[in-house]
């Protein structure tokens, strides 16, 4: 590859700045050798893109007949690479192909038949594959700086995005998106002696009135299971240790400060230190998107969690996703088709799924997927895609609550919680500090655990009163009933803040 061609490649946005993601600066004005450039690109192999690809029925038939079929599809778009790799430096695409979801995590035929109700077909995941294209030697994510000098949100590189779009146009491909690790929704850290700081526990309109729910049998989350899906936690924190939180699967290694804050909101022990969780009697567990083999796979993680949960339990999705259309980060995980289908399996099995709307400031109603469908817009039922999850936006802590500017919003967002000034447990970047707290946890990351707490209180009371837990649809309806509206609902478009006292006293906890 010539230096001039490399400069054009970088200028096109594959690496949107002269600062490579590995931290090595590349002087585009120098006569740096091709060999040095190739070496630098090779050092980015750990960031190379992996794709999730769903075949059509015809495509699956061809893949079963010929295990090299998907590899041939990717090679068929090699013209995308030909203009960038010429002569002796040309590379061939030799992708590794494997199932996206291991067989043991997929819903079996008997389960899918039992869950196929109301015309909703539960996916088998047989047609989903993951493609490892490390041989491209490129970075999946560009890390440009904005004009203001601040770091811009991560985005898929131009080449990765073009590869997704080209594959999506093939007749035998039903869906394709990147499998790319990114941070969870953002953190802003700045007897139960901290309980007075936890305004989200207070009566409406300030909070969800967890303090009232505690006076009702089951309102502390007793006999309710909660699973937090993200990438890291400090499970030995002094105010979480008594909760005996366990790891279902995956690697506990990334962003432990974030996960520790999330767990604290829900599960801080009722003792003489720190604060108190919304549902301190609930049983908490965690599961990581960093899988045991080191890969990053959200759909497989959701299904693994689902297989280890009981009907009526609550799964919290503390994650964000890259948009397959524009390549930008900070979208709900269900923007990716495989994740949506995994959520559908969970809610079909009776598991309550709480999904962060995420922090891109996007109008979800306006979003169109690769099939040009408004999948988040409830005003277009023929295009809208229902997963059964409860989607959560973020509001101010002050009353009247208003949507915070970074919160995604739209008709798909069911409820909101505080997105700032949240008092909870915290830890250092290594996850080794056991006695830290913050008053500044924020984002839809902080809003979503508040909704999980409200849902767990409802389920605990239902178990105590009715002898059973409620369905995902019923819990979502209850949480959106008699809640606290935002300051300007027509423009905020983040739903309501649940009011547990109104829910309980209004007799809404029923089948």
Beta bridge partners of 283: 225
Mean pLDDT of the chain: 84
The whole-model pTM stands at 0.83
Banded model confidence at residue 72, pLDDT cuts 50, 70, 90: confident
- CA 51 from centre of chain: 17
Q: What's the pLDDT score for residue 306?
A: 95
CA–CA distances in Å: residue 374 to residues 301, 365, 384, 386, 415 = 26, 7, 6, 11, 20
Write down the pLDDT at residue 156.
85
pLDDT at position 277 is: 96
Q: Please answer whether residues 501 and 454 qualify as being in contact, where contact means their C-beta atoms are separated by less than 8 angstroms.
A: no
Burial bucket for residue 278 (CB in 10 Å: 0-12, 13-18, 19+) = buried
Residue 473 in tokens: 């649809």
Indicate if the pLDDT at residue 29 is higher than 50: no
Q: d(Cα 17, Cα 180) in Å, to the nearest integer? A: 20
pLDDT at 84: 42
410 vs 94, residue with greater confidence = 410
Q: What is the pLDDT of residue 94?
A: 67
Query: For the residues of 368-399, what is the DSSP string, one character each?
Result: --TT---TT-TT-TTT-----PEEEEEE-SSS
pLDDT in tens, 379-400: 999 999 999 999 999 999 999 9
Cα separation values, 372 from 204, 380, 383, Å: 40, 12, 9
The pLDDT, as a whole number, for residue 144 is 52
Q: What is the structure's pLDDT at 87? A: 43
Q: Contact at 8 Å (CB) between 313 and 229?
A: no
Residue 333 exposure: Cα atoms within 13 Å on the Cβ side: 39
- Angle, alpha carbons 162-168-173 (nearest 5°): 145
Cis before 511? omega within 30 = no
For residue 182, the model assigns a pLDDT of 80
Query: What's residue 118's pLDDT?
Result: 55
> What pLDDT was estimated at residue 79?
57
pLDDT reading at 179 higher than 50:
yes
Q: Is pLDDT at 81 greater than 80 in this prediction?
A: no
> CA–CA separation, 110 vs 108, rounded Å?
6
The pLDDT of residue 38 is 32
Per-residue model confidence (pLDDT) at position 48: 54
The percent of residues above 70 in pLDDT, for the chain, comes to 79
Span of 70-74, 109-113, 410-414 with lowest mean pLDDT: 109-113
Q: How confident is the model at residue 141 (pLDDT cuts 50, 70, 90)?
A: low
pLDDT band at 123 (very low <50, low <70, confident <90, very high): confident
At 298, is the pLDDT very low, low, confident or very high (cuts 50, 70, 90)? very high
Interval 247-258 mean pLDDT: 97
Q: Above 90 in pLDDT, residue 341?
A: yes
Q: Given a cut of 80, is residue 90 above it in pLDDT?
A: no
Dump pLDDT digits (tens) for 416-469. Answer: 999 999 999 999 999 999 999 999 999 999 999 999 999 999 999 999 999 999
Reduced to 3 states, what is the DSSP secondary structure of residue 239? coil
CB 95 within 8 A of CB 132: yes
Residue 289 has pLDDT above 50, yes or no: yes
- Percent of the chain at pLDDT > 90 equals 69
**Quick one: pLDDT band at residue 75, thresholds 50, 70, 90?**
confident
pLDDT at 440: 93
Answer whether residue 228 shows pLDDT above 60: yes
Which whole number is the average pLDDT over 113-118? 64
- Mean pLDDT across 298-306: 97
What span, in angstroms and rounded, lies between the C-alpha atoms of 156 and 167? Answer: 15
């Amino acid at each position: 590859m010539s230096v001039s061609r490399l400069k054009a490649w970088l200028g096109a946005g594959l690496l949107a700045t002269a600062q490579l993601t590995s931290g090595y600066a590349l002087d585009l004005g120098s006569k740096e050798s091709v060999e040095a450039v190739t070496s630098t690109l090779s050092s980015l192999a750990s960031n190379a893109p992996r794709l999730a690809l769903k075949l059509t029925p015809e495509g699956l038939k061809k893949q079963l007949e010929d295990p090299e079929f998907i590899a041939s599809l990717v090679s068929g778009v090699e013209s995308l690479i030909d203009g960038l790799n010429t002569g002796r430096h040309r590379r061939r695409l030799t992708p590794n192909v494997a199932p996206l979801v291991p067989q043991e995590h997929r819903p079996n035929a008997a389960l899918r038949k039992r869950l196929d109700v109301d015309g909703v077909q539960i996916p088998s995941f047989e047609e989903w594959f993951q493609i490892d294209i490390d041989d491209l030697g490129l970075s999946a994510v560009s890390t440009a700086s904005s004009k203001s000098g601040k770091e811009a949100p991560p985005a898929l590189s131009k080449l990765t995005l073009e590869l997704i779009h080209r594959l999506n146009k093939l007749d035998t491909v039903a869906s394709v998106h990147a499998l790319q690790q990114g941070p969870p929704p953002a953190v802003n850290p700045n007897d139960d002696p901290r309980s007075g700081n936890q305004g989200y526990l207070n009566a409406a309109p300030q909070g969800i009135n967890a303090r009232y729910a505690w006076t009702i049998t089951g309102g502390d989350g007793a006999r309710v299971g909660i699973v937090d899906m993200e990438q890291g936690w400090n499970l030995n924190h002094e105010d979480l240790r008594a909760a005996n939180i366990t790891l279902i699967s995956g690697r506990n290694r990334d962003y432990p400060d974030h996960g520790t804050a999330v767990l604290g909101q829900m599960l801080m022990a009722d003792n003489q230190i720190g604060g108190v969780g919304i549902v301190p009697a609930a049983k908490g567990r965690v599961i990581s998107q960093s899988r045991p083999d080191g890969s990053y796979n959200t759909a497989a993680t959701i299904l693994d969690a689902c297989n280890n949960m009981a009907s009526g339990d609550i799964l919290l999705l503390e994650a964000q996703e890259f948009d397959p259309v524009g390549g930008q980060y900070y979208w709900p995980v269900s923007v990716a088709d495989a994740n949506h289908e995994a959520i559908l399996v969970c809610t079909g099995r009776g598991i309550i799924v709480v999904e962060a709307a995420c922090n891109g400031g996007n109008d979800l109603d306006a979003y169109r997927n690769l099939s040009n469908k408004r999948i988040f817009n409830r005003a277009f039922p023929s295009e809208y895609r229902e997963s059964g999850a409860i989607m959560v936006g973020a509001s101010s802590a002050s009353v009247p609550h208003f949507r915070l500017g970074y919160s995604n919003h739209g008709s798909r967002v069911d409820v909101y919680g505080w997105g700032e000034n949240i008092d909870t447990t915290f830890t250092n970047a290594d996850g080794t500090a056991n006695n830290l707290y913050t008053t500044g946890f924020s984002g839809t990351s902080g809003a979503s655990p508040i909704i999980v707490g409200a849902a767990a209180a409802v389920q605990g009371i239902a178990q105590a009163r009715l002898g059973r837990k409620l369905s995902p649809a019923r819990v979502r309806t209850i949480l959106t009933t008699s809640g606290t509206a935002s300051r300007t609902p027509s423009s905020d478009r983040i739903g309501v803040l649940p009011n547990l006292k109104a829910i309980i006293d209004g007799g809404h906890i029923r089948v």
